[in-house]
Chains A and B, each alone.
Chain A
Amino acid sequence: MHAFDYQSPSTVAEAIELMAKHNGSARPLAGGTDLIDQMRVGRLAPDVLIDVKKLDELNVLSADAAGLHVGAAVPCYRIYGDETVNSQYTALADSCHIIGGIQIQSRASIGGNLCNSGPAADSTPSMIALGGVCVIAGPSGSREIAVESFCTGPGKNVLEPGELLVEVRFPARPANSGSHYRRMIPRNEMDIAVVGVGASVTLDDSGQNFVSARIGLGAIAATPLFAEAAGESLAGQPVNDESLEKAAAAAREIASPITDMRGTREYRIHVTGVLVKRVLQAAIVRARGEQIDYCRGH
C-alpha cells in the first residue's frame, strides 16, 4: 500500500478542519472495509486518513419523536442489534445483516456504504425506501440531502472537499408500515448484489390497500435509484398481484444495468421485477404485523 498519514481527531469540527486542510486528498476512515481494500489495490490513494469512527456524533444510534438517528460510523452489528431498528426500520436491519460476513459487520457502517457510493451498496436501497436524509457537516456549516440524491456515479457523491457525512436521519414510522430488503446473489452470503431492492410500504387500517410506498433499487444503474414512480403507482391501490406487477414494471422501466461478471443486463432487468414483487410482499406482511418467511440469502 502507498504511504499515507493517519489522523484521529476528537471532534467533528477538528475532523472537518483536517478534511478541509487537505482539500480533497484526505479521506474519512470509519470501518475501513471498503476504503482499505481500495487503497490496497491502488484504486484510491489519499494522502491522509482521518479516523472518524470514535467521534460521538458519528456514533449516535437513537430514536426520538422525529425519527431515527444513525451516526455515519455506527457499525452494522449495532444497527441490527438495535431494538427500534429491528421493530420499525426492518429493511435497514435486513441490509446490515448481509453486508459482508459477520466480521465485516463488526466494522462496516452505513455511512461508509453510502460514501463509498457503489451502485450495489446493500444499505442504500433500504435507506432510500425508509426516506433517509443525510446530515452533512462542512467548513461552511451543515446541510441535508435525501439519500437518493447523495450518489452521483460509481464511487462518486455530492460531498465537497472538507465535508463529512455525520448521520443519516429517518422519519418516524407511520402506523401499518413495514419494510424489507433483499438482493439476488449467486451464493447465499458474502457476495455483491446482482440486484438489490429495498421497499417500505404503508397500508390503510384494513391492511388491504396501500397508503404509500417507497422503493430503492441497487446494482441496476450507475447509482442506487429511487424508484419513485413505482412507489407512487401503489398509493391508494389495493394490495393484489395487479398492483404489485405494475410497480415491478415501473421499476424495470428505470433499470439501466450493465453486463459484467456478476450478471447480464437482461438478467438484471428481469430480476428487478421479480425482487420488487417479493420485497413488496414481505414489506406488506410486516406492515400487517406478521412475521415474514425469509431465509437470508436464498
Chain B
Amino acid sequence: MSAKRVVTFTVNGDQVEILCEPRQSLLEVLRDDLDLTGTKEGCSNGNCGACTVIMDGRPVVSCLVLAVEAEGAELRTIEGVACGSTLDEVQAAFLEGAALQCGICTPGIIVQTEALLEENPNPTEDDVRFYLAGNLCRCTGYDKIVRAVQAAAEKRQVAASN
C-alpha cells in the first residue's frame, strides 16, 4: 500500500483536510470520509453522471477524479446547492415539476443544471438536452427534467431582472 497523504480542499465553502490513499476517488472520499452521500455512484466509469460535482467552477464526474487531484480545489456538491434551509430555483422546480421518480440521479442532475445555468442562463430545449446527456435517468424519460430546468432558468431570469 502506498503512503497516505493529506489533501486539503474546500467543500461547499468549508475547508476540509483528509487523509487518503492515491487510489481513492474523490467520490469515495466525499461519501465515505466526509459523509456527503448526496453524491451518488451509479457506474464508476463516468457514464451516468450520478456523481457529478462542481470542481473549480466546472462540472466533473467525481468517480473519475482522484481525491489527491483535488488538492487546493473548490468543490460544490448537492449538499451545497440549497441556501441554508431554502431550496434554490432548480431544486424547487424539480419538486414543482415532479421531475424525479426514484431520485437517485437527481443530485447529479441538479448539480449539472447549476453548471449549465451558470454558463447559459437561458438554454433552449436542445441546449438542456445536450448539456445533460451525461446524466442518465432511467425513470422519467427526461421530459419533466428538461421542463424543470427551463422553468428554473426562467425563474432565475425573472428574479435577476427585478
Contact = CB atoms under 8 A, between A and B. Distances in A.
B46 A4 contact: no
A82 interface: no
Contact of A4 (B22, B115, B135): B22
A125 B23 CA distance: 32
A101 B68 CA distance: 23
Interface of A: 1-6, 8, 29, 32-33, 36-37, 39-41, 49, 51, 53, 75, 77, 100-104, 106-107, 188-190, 296-297
Contacts of A102: 59, 112, 115-116, 131, 133-134
Given A102-B112, A103-B52, A104-B46, A3 B64 contact: no
Interface in B103-139: 112, 115-116, 130-131, 133-135
Interface residues of B, number: 34
Contacts of A5: 2-3, 22
Contacts of A32: 64-66, 69
A101 B22 contact: no
A162 to B, nearest CB: 21
Interface string B49-60: 100100100111
B22 A104 contact: no
A53 B55 CA distance: 15
A296 B61 CA distance: 22
B45 interface: yes
B47 interface: yes
Contacts of B46: 33, 37, 100, 103-104
B58 A106 contact: yes
B44 interface: yes
B47 A190 contact: yes
A139 B135 CA distance: 42
21 contacts: A4-B23, A5-B2, A5-B22, A6-B66, A8-B71, A36-B25, A36-B64, A36-B65, A37-B64, A39-B23, A40-B44, A40-B45, A49-B66, A100-B134, A101-B134, A102-B131, A103-B49, A103-B52, A103-B60, A103-B61, A104-B61
A220 B115 CA distance: 36
B133 A101 contact: yes
A167 B33 CA distance: 37
A77 B58 contact: yes
Given A37-B64, A189-B133, 17 more contacts: A6-B2, A6-B68, A36-B64, A36-B66, A37-B46, A39-B23, A100-B46, A101-B134, A102-B134, A103-B112, A103-B134, A104-B61, A104-B134, A106-B55, A107-B64, A107-B65, A297-B130
Contacts of B68: 6, 8, 51
A100 B60 CA distance: 11
Contacts of B71: 8
A74 to B, nearest CB: 13
A56 B62 CA distance: 24
A33 B46 CA distance: 7
A250 to B, nearest CB: 33
B158 interface: no
Contact of A2 (B3, B23, B134): B23
Contacts of B44: 40
Contacts of B58: 75, 77, 106-107
B21 interface: yes
Contacts of A2: 23
Nearest to A41: B45
Contacts of B83: none
Nearest to B62: A103
B130 A296 contact: yes
Given A36-B66, A37-B64, A190-B133, A103 B23 contact: no
B1 interface: yes
B120 to A, nearest CB: 11
Given A37-B64, A77-B58, A106-B58, A101 B49 contact: yes
B2 A4 contact: yes
Given A32-B66, A37-B46, A103-B61, A3 B131 contact: no
